[in-house]
Amino acid sequence: MKIETDFLVIGSGIAGLSFALNAAEIGSVTIITKKEDKESNTNYAQGGIASVLSPNDSFENHINDTLRAGSGLCHEHAVRFMIENGPAAIEKLLRTGVEFSKTNEQSLDLIREGGHSRERIVHARDYTGREIERALLQNVKNNSNIEILENHIAIDLITEHQTVGRDYSKGIHCWGAYALDVENNKVRIISARVILLSTGGCGQVYLHTTNPSIATGDGIAMAYRAGATIANMEFMQFHPTSLFKEGSDAFLISEAVRGYGAILRDKDGNSFMKEYHKSAELAPRDIVARAIDREMKRSGEPCVYLDLTHKNAESIKKHFPSIYKRCLDFQVDITKEWIPVVPAAHYMCGGVVVDMKGSTTIKGLFACGEVAFTGVHGANRLASNSLLEALVFTEPAVQEASVYLKITKLNIPDILPWNLEGTFNQDEWVYLVHDRHVIREVMWDYVGIVRSDFRLARASRRLDVITAEVEEFYKKTVVTNDLIELRNIATVSQLIVRSALNRKESRGLHYNTDYPQRDDKLWNHDTHLSQSVI
C-alpha cells in the first residue's frame, strides 16, 4: 500500500508536532509514530524550557551560560538565534493551551537549574514534557489536514537508491520512507516531497538510560545510511541523577530537584560536590555526572544519594508530584529518605547535520529536535535548552520546507516496491535478540562517562562483529519492529565509537583518560561522519 502526502513527519515529539501544525497550513501532513502518538522523549521531559522572561535576566546571560556549558563547540550564531526567539516560542505554547506552573501572582513560575546563572526555567511542575505533548496533540487531532499513523516504524528513507533508474545526476533527494505497519505486519511506501526527521534521541544504545524504549536512534541511523552527514556523536550527555533500583529501568530525577536545594551525598552522608565545582550541585551536568561516577568507583558503591529531607514535605510534593509518586512505587519516600541515584544516558548533543533552516545535506530531508545537529549544544547541553531548540528551529524549517515544496520541479520518481523475499527463522532470531543487550552493555562499559583508547578500540571490535551479523540477518529475513530497532542501535553505536576514537582530547561530555586535557589548538571543531551511497 502506498500513501502520498505533501509532508511526511517521522516522530511525534515536540518538534514533529510543532512542525506538523505549521505545515498543515500549507499542505497535507502525515505523521508516523512507532508507538502511541504521545510516546516520545518529549513526554518524559520533566524539567522545563529555558527562556529569558524575567527583568532580572537577559539574552546575553542565557547565551553566555549556554556557551560556557558547551565547552567551546557551540555555534554562537545558532545559540543566539535560539535564545532570542525563546520568549516568542513560550508565548506560542501558551496560546496553544499549555498550562505552565504559575506563582501566586499568576506570573510564570521561573526556576533555576544546573549551569544557569538566573531563574529562567518555565515548567509545568515536574511533568512539563507531558503537558506540552498533551496540548500539541489536542491541536493536531483537531486539524483535518493532519493524519497520524500510530504503530508505524520507519525502516529506511527513500532516495534515488530506492528508485527505478537510480539517477544521481541532480544530487540526492529524499522521496519518503518505507514504514512497517506493525499491527498489520505490512511494509508501506509513504511518499512525500518534504520529509521531517523528528525521531528524538538514542539513549537505548546504553544499558542505563532515562529515555523511553522507543529512543533507538532511528532517524540518525536512517539518515546516515541514506548518505546524510552526521556530527558530534561522541557527545552523549549522561544525566547525573536517575533513580537507582537494581533490575528496574532508570527513572529521571529532574535537574530541578537539585535546583530546589537537594544535596548529593555518599552513603555516609558526606556532601561531595563542592570538591568538584564551585557551584556544587548546580554545576553543569558533565561535571556532576563525572563526580558521581568517581565517587561510586572510589567507594565501590552502586549509587550515591540525593537528599531533600531538609525541605518542607508538603512543598516537595507540590513541586515534584510525579517524582514523589514514582519514587513511592519503589518504596522511597523522598520527603523522609535519601534518593539512590546513578548517572544514565540522557541526551545526544550530536545528530544529523542541519543548517539554520533545518535542511540536511539531502534535498527534501529536514530534521528538528534531538535527532538534529544545529550546533547549539556544543560539547555539553545546558539544562532545559532541548525543548527550546525543538520549538524554535521548527519555525524556519517549516518556512524553508514550504519554499522547497513550491519551487521544486522534480516529479517523484518510480519507487521500488519493498522486497518481500526472505524467511523468518525463529531459532536464529532467539540468538540474535541477545545482541541488543550485548550492544548496550558494551556501550555502558567502554563508551560511557569516562573513556580510554583501549576501551574504545575494544568496543569498536565487538560492535563491528555484531553489526555485521545484524545486517546479514536483516537482509535475509522479514522485518520486524525489534529487528529494525536492533539494526539502528547497532549503527548508532558504531557512529558514537568512531566519533569518540577520532577526538584526541577531553571536552565537555567526552572524557578520555589518555587525553585528559582540552585541546583548543587541534580539536576545537566538530566531528563529521558520512558515507558515500552513490
Point out the residues that are catalytic: 285
CA distances from 425 to 27, 475, 478, 480 (A): 43, 13, 9, 12
Question: With contact defined as beta carbons under 8 Å apart, do 267 and 261 qualify?
Answer: no
Rounded CA separation 512/138 (Å):
45
Q: Which residues does 437 contact at the CB level (< 8 Å), separation at least 6?
A: none
- Spatial CA neighbour of 210 closest among 129, 149, 131: 129
Nine-digit cell string for 227: 548518505
CA distances from 385 to 52, 104, 171, 480, 532 (A): 12, 26, 34, 35, 33
Q: Which residues does 313 contact at the CB level (< 8 Å), separation at least 6?
A: 335, 336
Q: Is 475 exposed, middle or buried (0-12, 13-18, 19+ CB in 10 A)?
A: exposed
Nine-digit cell string for 139: 491541536
Helices 14-23 & 386-407 angle (0-180, nearest 10): 30
Supply the DSSP string of 377-393, one letter for each residue: STTSPPTT-HHHHHHHH
Rounded CA separation 114/381 (Å):
11
Q: Is 55 exposed, middle or buried (0-12, 13-18, 19+ CB in 10 A)?
A: exposed
**Bridge partner residues of 195 (DSSP):** 8, 365
